[in-house]
């Protein structure tokens, strides 16, 4: 099973567990408050909530997690934010009305319970304004979907860091930075035009998303035809994740090569550089907040990426980055010696890295 597929199923399992716990918990609270005796009422509504929550998450969560990785999902991702949100609102509301309004949970409770008191309470629960319950479920679901859509604009890690205030006060960190440059985007622009080159680059960025997520990378930014990916050193060092990420991206683009050739008449090629060191990380901005990094590491990584043109090797890694990686022995390393970098006095030793 591919890493991406395994990760998606793990996320799906986590979402299902979350839905089961949340719906059962709130169902039990509601039942204890409404019915007498409260313990039996809690059992009835907890069972109903468990059924409804599980079915809704199985359907809606499945769409949210698995659809974006399909051709239809990639097309859907290109729609405007409000259009995508509106389509999901209609689809998910229909699902919620069918499940909650159709009283799937209460009907299941009636079938599973025994005893006249329990059956009487379950039948009473079925009469509790299913339309109102469906409306509440739809409202909560749409709020969560809107939050998810908004988080995807800035990235999950960035949104989480801002929400938790992790970088409200700047701090120093040791980080890897991987700069990936798309070769040949300028000729594509001249051949196909600016709109088509945007589609071309966006398609590449979509293909790189899963490999970056698979190896725990965080997309810092897209700059023109370049992707900047970062890891905390303690998170990226195991199994040389930044190196594995780069080669997984190459493999993903190679697998999609026939589609690129058909749609754009060219196949993307990459050159990249990896460096590591200390940076200052903090929140910045006013009306738009972002996590930014300051330090010589960023400039040095850009200079190393420029060396790929003169040294003729597509993937260069600094000695500083290699020293912080574990498991790099599985790759073919070629020592290219100390290299002078523009704007930097001391030369930096770099290596060419390839798969064995």
Domains of the chain listed by start with CATH number: 3-154 (no CATH), 159-355 (3.30.70.1230)
CA of 21: how far to CAs of 8, 43, 53, 138, 154, in Å? 20, 14, 9, 19, 28
Strand partners, 338: 349
Q: Which of 28-32, 123-127, 176-180 has the lowest mean pLDDT?
A: 123-127
CA 236 to chain centre: 17
Model confidence at 154, pLDDT cuts 50, 70, 90, reads: low
d(CA 23, CA 217): 32
Res 16 pLDDT > 70: yes
d(CA 327, CA 356): 13
Element (H, E) at 353: strand 348-355
d(CA 198, CA 188): 10
| Cβ–Cβ < 8 Å for 348, 302 | no
Does this model's pTM top 0.85? My answer is no
| Cβ–Cβ < 8 Å for 278, 297 | yes
d(CA 321, CA 355): 17
Please calculate the CA angle 84-55-8 and round it to the nearest 5 degrees.
Answer: 60
With a CB cutoff of 8 Å and minimum separation 6, the contacts of 285 are none
CA of 143: how far to CAs of 83, 148, 269, 322, in Å? 16, 9, 40, 44
Q: What one-character-per-residue DSSP string does 323-343 give?
A: HT-SSGGGEEEEEEEEE--TT
Residues in the chain, overall count: 356
d(CA 283, CA 170): 7
Res 58 pLDDT > 80: yes
With a CB cutoff of 8 Å and minimum separation 6, the contacts of 4 are 69, 210, 211, 213, 214
Specify whether the backbone of 313 is left (phi greater than 0), alpha (psi in -120 to 50) or beta.
beta
Q: What one-character-per-residue DSSP string does 237-287 give?
A: TGGGHHHHHHHHHHHHHHHTHHHHHHHHSS--EEEEEEEEEEEEEEEE-SS
Q: What is the pLDDT of residues 266-307, one digit of tens each?
A: 889 999 999 999 999 998 877 777 788 999 999 999 999 999
Q: What is the pLDDT of residues 77-136, one digit of tens each?
A: 777 767 777 788 788 888 887 887 777 777 777 677 666 665 666 666 656 555 556 666
What per-residue confidence (pLDDT) applies to 351?
96
What per-residue confidence (pLDDT) applies to 302?
92
Residue, of 46 and 125, whose pLDDT is higher: 46
CB atoms within 10 A of CB 290: 15
Pairing of the two strands 331-339 and 348-355: antiparallel
d(CA 352, CA 298): 19
Burial zone of 13 (CB within 10 Å; 0-12 exposed, 13-18 middle, 19+ buried): exposed
Q: What percent of the chain has pLDDT over 90?
A: 35
d(CA 153, CA 315): 29
What per-residue confidence (pLDDT) applies to 68?
78
């Amino acid at each position: 099973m591919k890493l991406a597929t395994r990760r998606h199923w793990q996320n799906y399992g986590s979402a299902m567990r979350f839905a089961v716990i949340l719906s059962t918990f709130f169902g039990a609270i509601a039942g204890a408050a409404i019915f007498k005796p409260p313990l039996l009422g809690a059992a009835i509504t907890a069972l109903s909530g468990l059924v409804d929550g599980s079915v809704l998450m199985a359907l809606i969560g499945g769409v949210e997690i698995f659809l974006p990785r399909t051709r239809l999902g990639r097309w859907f991702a290109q729609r405007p934010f409000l259009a995508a949100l509106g389509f999901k609102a209609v689809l998910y509301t229909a699902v919620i009305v069918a499940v909650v309004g159709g009283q799937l949970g209460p009907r299941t409770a009636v079938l599973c319970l025994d005893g006249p008191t329990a059956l009487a309470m379950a039948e009473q629960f079925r009469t509790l304004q299913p339309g109102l319950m469906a409306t509440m479920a739809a409202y909560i679901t749409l709020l969560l979907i809107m939050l998810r859509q908004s988080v995807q604009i800035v990235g999950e890690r960035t949104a989480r860091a801002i929400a938790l205030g992790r970088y409200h006060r700047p701090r120093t960190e040791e980080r890897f930075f991987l700069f990936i440059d798309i070769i040949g985007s300028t000729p594509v622009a001249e051949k196909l035009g600016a709109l088509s080159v945007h589609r071309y680059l966006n398609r590449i960025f979509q293909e790189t998303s899963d490999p970056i997520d698979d190896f725990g990378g965080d997309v810092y930014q897209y700059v023109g035809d370049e992707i900047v990916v970062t890891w905390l050193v303690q998170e990226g060092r195991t199994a040389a994740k930044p190196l594995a990420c780069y080669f997984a991206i190459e493999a993903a683009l190679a697998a999609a090569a026939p589609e690129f050739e058909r749609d754009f008449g060219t196949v993307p090629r990459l050159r990249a550089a990896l460096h590591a060191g200390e940076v200052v990380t903090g929140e910045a901005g006013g009306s738009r907040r972002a996590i930014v990094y300051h330090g010589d590491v960023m400039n040095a990584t850009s200079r190393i990426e420029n060396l790929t043109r003169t040294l003729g090797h597509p993937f260069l890694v600094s000695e500083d980055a290699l020293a912080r990686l574990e498991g790099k022995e599985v790759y073919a390393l070629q020592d290219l010696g100390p290299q002078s970098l523009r704007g930097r006095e001391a030369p930096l030793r770099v290596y060419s890295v390839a798969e064995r």
